[in-house]
Chain A
């Protein structure tokens, strides 16, 4: 396997987001693998706090010196908080994708879609196969 971190307590989507659950609030970010593939991240943009998203909707985008990518939420609900500090210092995503690089928090009434995502071992295998 490659040289990236994949915390065991998170769920992972095929488009390289991680999902952390705390009660009915889901925090979303991008993985260490994703930030490494993207290279230096220079721009992020999120939808506004208060917006409603459906499962599978885009909640923002991230742009690096290599590429621009949409960010997708696996859960439906209201965006209750966005990490707007990242807009001024997107390099935080490269330095600390699972900590200070968290992106949005969504309050959801349906956690079921997370069960369909990958666990850490599954995500590592998925990245290895790419």
Chain B
């Protein structure tokens, strides 16, 4: 079989000797490369600037992006990424900062990381935060390693079981296995919550002394707030375990619920989801972790601390107001906001430095994590401020509930109660049995939308997981609803139309089985391998 390319490889559009860059005069002594590292034929593309630009613009036009339209890919929080984040990331003082610059020469960057640690801690209710994990899965790994070390240090190394609900992200059980521990899976009840009988049986039975903790996503991957979460936390704590919150769905909680205040011991944040740093091909991700006092000594390092002098932003920190409406530390926008940085320095500014926590599980990544993402997340939080961050969550939840309420008329919603920032519906109709979730998703592409997440969570048959995010207007949401309603009609009137979709994308229906089984790698040195 041969592979037809939509756009030639960049290696195939060049001309020998063509060059797209003018290198500056060498201003350092020339050093010959060791002979062993020299290669006769180094396959670099030989193209001019205009060819490079056209090549990548053509490729980008084959893609679908959040800058083009709604991207309701559940669990991924594909919100619009404000361009001011990119402006901040391109400021030369940050963009050209070498990671080996000493601390005295990078105080601005260290200050920014310190502020971000503080703000993430404030948003989640955790006193200590490390920004180093490279993405969510690494944040999970850090969290479970910390839990493991905590038990070992207390002489309870036999605690090797982590409870994981069956609705969990696949990364949760994978993390547990990577950390050398075992998974105990818990079923869901008919409301989509953790089955409390199963939880009590696990925590109060013969395995009690082996419970190391529990990983749980709040709201769950079904988009549902665990209404029994306080009992879940108390039950696991009572058995001697610690609570890990998968923060993938933090977009439903910000400034409304603080996981630390609920009793969680550790969580990770997905800066690339909740805090609008690019992802989905544009990454990299960033998976900061927040912990309470028990686990603070174990944080992966380095973290940024004030190593000399005193903090100068304490005086602007406002009082936390317990809101009777929400009860979990909502702050009133009119009060002094903790998500404000004081740039009015009084006296000498403090000196920031990198510190390895006392019993740190170590480094997870070279240098200091994905700093470019810290910068973008900082810009995002700084622009929104305290009340803006609260609105992010409110609109994310409102948008999801609006879609859910409207779509319930045409689709089956297996858990018909208020959702968080996303919800599941069944992509299947009893009177159009040969149409599946995948067909509905493919057809949505013809209507100009990115498909929702398919076949996850696994506990809902034909699941379509829909997350509109806060950045869509009501008009955008109404267009999506209209498309979904039209597709439901088409499923009855012309099911073949759906099974053949998409018709307007750069490629038609992909052969997923072949894609999973046959690896076709197109790159210059192995161009011959392009046909298998």
Contacts and interface: CB of A to CB of B under 8 A. Distances in A.
B517 interface: yes
Interface string A76-90: 000000000000001
Contacts of B461: 37
Contact of B513 (A42, A67, A68): A42
A63 B455 CA distance: 14
Interface string A9-37: 00000000000000000000000000001
A65 B458 contact: no
Interface string A27-60: 0000000000100101100000000000000000
Contacts of A91: 513
A33 to B, nearest CB: 12
B5 interface: no
Contacts of A37: 461
B516 interface: yes
A67 B517 contact: no
A115 B517 CA distance: 38
Contacts of B516: 42-43, 63, 65
Nearest to A70: B173
Interface in A63-120: 63, 65-68, 90-91
B153 interface: no
Contacts of A42: 513, 516-517
Contact of B455 (A40, A66, A90): A66
Interface residues of A, number: 11
Interface in B493-530: 512-513, 516-517
Nearest to A68: B170
Contacts of B512: 40, 65
The CB with the most chain B CB atoms within 10 A, among A63, A65, A91, is that of: A65
The CB with the most chain B CB atoms within 10 A, among A37, A40, A63, is that of: A40
Contacts of B455: 66-67
Contacts of B458: 67
B338 to A, nearest CB: 42
A63 B458 CA distance: 13
B518 to A, nearest CB: 10
18 contacts: A37-B461, A40-B512, A40-B513, A42-B513, A42-B516, A42-B517, A43-B516, A43-B517, A63-B516, A65-B512, A65-B513, A65-B516, A66-B455, A67-B455, A67-B458, A68-B170, A90-B517, A91-B513
Interface of B: 170, 455, 458, 461, 512-513, 516-517
Nearest 7 A/B pairs, CB to CB: A42-B516, A65-B512, A40-B513, A66-B455, A42-B517, A67-B458, A42-B513
Given A42-B517, A65-B516, A68-B170, 15 more contacts: A37-B461, A40-B512, A40-B513, A42-B513, A42-B516, A43-B516, A43-B517, A63-B516, A65-B512, A65-B513, A66-B455, A67-B455, A67-B458, A90-B517, A91-B513
